[in-house]
């Protein structure tokens, strides 16, 4: 028998340098080098790693009103965002190629005047394999980020397995998950900003439901990871911690909780809380097939005579001008 194929993955639980693209890219390069030195095949970064999840800020917008300060901070957010293609993407591609690894990184993508929450998968040779925009931003995110489209609901076949991704609460959309299952996803990447206890159970459920490996990766961030004048954490802002006290530089804003799950829903690593870390796991890919002995979401349990999912894979609407 041929030796079992093993894929080594790294989930990078780290804070971005918020609103600073250049420094965030420098941090990404260092973390990629560290993970690559451990012999990994795939390195996964959190949601919005380039260049930040705008924690606790709705850019001074309320129903019926927008304030000048919020527009100014939106412009700062836009300036720290990533266009695709761009020199920033070239840096990610160069890093992947020089180390011979796959890299998926969460970016705030700018396209026209709109921002998107996007996951970018780059291959070993430096080419962009997948650009997935979050289909539905959650709650107040909808003011700041546009909606993604079905063209990003793809599973990419690679030499390490079939890779797909959904971002944060997209993972609670059954049809979106099924779209990946239907394409035979084996390594399911779930970058997130959710550090609630229920998220852990959700990732175990998805791994067992999809009969796939799940890499759940989140930032761990503190007040000090944001600019000193970032409105939610300044003394004059109305926002306070849940206990009513003011924010301090060392206060944790997002606790992390990154971990990796096998295709029977059994964790391969324990969630890591409140510190930066690179979480490693060896994925024995034969376990995907083994797990489907008694349950296959798009095979033995699919019942296509009853159920059918149709996915519109066309890109989102765009505006063109003709003369």
CA distance 144 to 57: 10
**Single pTM value for the model:** 0.95
Strands 213-218 and 128-133, sheet pairing:
unpaired
Q: What long-range pairs does 110-114 form, CB within 8 A, spacing at least 24?
A: 110/78, 110/81, 110/82, 110/83, 111/83, 111/84, 113/78, 114/145, 114/146
Quick one: pLDDT at residue 237? 73
Residue tagged active-site, from 27, 110, 131, 134? 134
Quick one: pLDDT at residue 238? 65
- Which residue positions in the chain have pLDDT lower than 70? 1-4, 238-239, 317-323
Of 111, 168, 54, 179, nearest to 317 by C-alpha is 111
Quick one: pLDDT at residue 1? 44
29 is catalytic: no
Quick one: pLDDT at residue 323? 60
168 is catalytic: yes
Q: Per-domain residue ranges for the chain?
A: 6-291
290 is catalytic: no
Quick one: pLDDT at residue 246? 87
Quick one: pLDDT at residue 66? 95
CA distance 131 to 121: 7
Residue tagged active-site, from 109, 131, 168, 170? 168
Residue tagged active-site, from 47, 170, 186, 209? 47
Backbone angles phi, psi at 163, to 5 degrees: -110, 130
CA distance 57 to 303: 45
CA distance 322 to 35: 49
The CATH classification number of 6-291 equals 3.60.110.10
CA distance 97 to 211: 30
């Amino acid at each position: 028998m041929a030796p079992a194929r093993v894929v080594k993955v790294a989930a990078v639980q780290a804070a971005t340098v918020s609103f600073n693209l250049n420094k965030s890219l420098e941090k990404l390069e260092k973390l990629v080098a560290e993970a690559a030195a451990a012999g990994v095949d795939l390195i996964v970064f959190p949601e919005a790693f380039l260049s930040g999840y705008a924690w606790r800020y709705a850019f001074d917008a309320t129903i019926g009103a927008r304030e000048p300060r919020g527009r100014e901070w939106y412009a700062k957010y836009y300036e720290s965002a990533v266009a695709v293609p761009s020199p920033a993407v070239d840096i990610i591609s160069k890093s992947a190629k020089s180390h011979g690894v796959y890299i998926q990184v969460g970016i705030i993508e700018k396209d026209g005047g709109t921002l998107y929450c996007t996951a970018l998968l780059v291959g070993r040779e430096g080419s962009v394999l997948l650009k997935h925009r979050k289909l539905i931003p959650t709650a107040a995110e909808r003011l700041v980020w546009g909606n993604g489209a079905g063209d990003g609901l793809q599973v990419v076949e690679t030499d390490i397995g079939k890779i797909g991704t959904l971002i944060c609460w997209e993972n609670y959309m059954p049809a979106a998950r099924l779209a990946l299952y239907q394409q035979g996803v084996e390594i399911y990447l779930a970058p997130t900003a959710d550090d609630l206890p229920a998220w852990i159970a959700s990732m175990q459920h998805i791994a067992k439901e999809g009969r796939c490996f799940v890499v759940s990766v989140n930032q761990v961030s503190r007040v000090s990871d944001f600019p000193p004048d970032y409105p939610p954490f300044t003394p004059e802002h109305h926002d306070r911690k849940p206990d009513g006290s003011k924010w301090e530089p060392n206060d944790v804003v997002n606790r992390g909780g990154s971990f990796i799950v096998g295709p029977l829903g059994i964790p391969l690593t324990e969630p890591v809380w409140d510190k930066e870390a690179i979480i490693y796991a060896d994925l024995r890919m034969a376990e995907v097939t083994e797990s489907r002995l008694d349950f296959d979401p798009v095979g033995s349990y699919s019942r296509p005579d009853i159920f059918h999912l149709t996915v519109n894979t066309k890109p989102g609407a765009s505006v063109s001008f003709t003369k």
